[in-house]
Structure 1
Amino acid sequence: MDLFERVSEDIKTAMKAKDKVALDTLRNIKKVFLEAKTAPGANDTLSDADAIKIVQKLTKQGKDAAEIYVQQGRQDLADAELAQVKVMEVYLPKQMTPEELEAALKEIIAETGAAGAKDMGKVMGVASKKLAGLAEGRVISAKVKELLG
């Protein structure tokens, strides 16, 4: 079962459980999936890799919005955003631990032959592709900077 079908099934489950937060979140995810499927050039298909990227983007937007709400003293709105983020995170691959990330990046640095900060672009290009979905881009970038610096 691909991610699109899984979300559709989970919408039914959320309806039966009367879980409003999950239902609203899943309906939003499905709406974005459908928009991506019907976009010009998509040929009415959505790969799991593309679906994961969409969920990652929505998760990041939710976290950013929650952060802004907290800064503005609106904890009630921040809590609502974070509840939706929690529902979305179920569909993301397990994130790497800092130790796993460091080991993977050391391997990539050895592969690319990077010697210093000037080679960061080369390392980031490979790391972004290999570690897509397993760690946030800014975390990867910070770790690469640390390892090359």
Structure 2
Amino acid sequence: MPGLAERLLADLQEAVRSGDVTRREVIRFLRAEIKNVEIEKGRPLTDDEIIEVIRRQIKMRREAIEQFAQGGRTDLVDRESAQIAVLEQYLPPQLSPDELLALARQVVEEVGAAGPKDMSKVMPVLRARVGPRAEGQAIADAARQALNERATAHPSS
């Protein structure tokens, strides 16, 4: 199975052939960003590292959407939204909020966390288990909810 870098190249070539301007421009920009990170690191990126670059691109565009929406620029909101849709196709299937919360509860139980003060015990383990299947903020929210549930279910201190 080809890696993400090869898939991006093949998809770029297909977008050029088919005349899909949005897809072509998004993939070109993404590949340039990946190349910059590779130069910085001095080596080719792994698929997981490429996924992190894609996540940063999505986050950047979401922030731009907020700004454009405040400025009433629906044309630019639509353009950025279309770009996010292209980028999201390269992310692995995402966990649902329920799946993420169930995983967070499991980790809270395993590490013996008692409440919100144990967030630093839970997050590294949860992040490692979830990997690229959820964004950082969603992971933190699930951990916080699981810790709050634990604190109210087992009030100890």
Whichever residue aligns with residue 46 of structure 1, its letter is L
Equivalent in the alignment of 2:56? 57
Q: Is 1:86 matched with 2:104?
A: no
Task: Give runs of aligned pairs for residues 93-132 of structure 1, distance below 5 A.
Answer: 93-132=92-131
Equivalent in the alignment of 2:151? none
> What is the identity percentage for the equivalent residue pairs of Structure 1 and Structure 2?
33
Equivalent in the alignment of 2:153? none
Equivalent in the alignment of 1:73? 72
1:130 Cα shift? 2.0
1:114 Cα shift? 0.6
Larger Rg: 2
Q: Partners of 1:126 and 1:57 in 2: how far apart?
A: 22
**SS of equivalent residue, structure 1 residue 44:** coil
More helix by share: 2
1:79 Cα shift? 0.6
1:5 Cα shift? 1.0
Segments of 5+ residues of structure 2 without an aligned counterpart are 149-157
- Contact conserved, 1:3 with 1:51, CA < 8 A, in 2? yes
Instruction: Encode CA deviations 1:19-59: one digit per residue, 9 max, x unaligned.
Output: 000000000011011112222xx343111110011001101
Q: CA RMSD in A?
A: 1.1
- Contact conserved, 1:56 with 1:133, CA < 8 A, in 2? no
Q: Partners of 2:146 and 2:42 in 1: how far apart?
A: 42
Q: How many residues align?
A: 147
Equivalent in the alignment of 2:22? 21
Whichever residue aligns with residue 120 of structure 2, its letter is G
TM-score (norm 2): 0.89
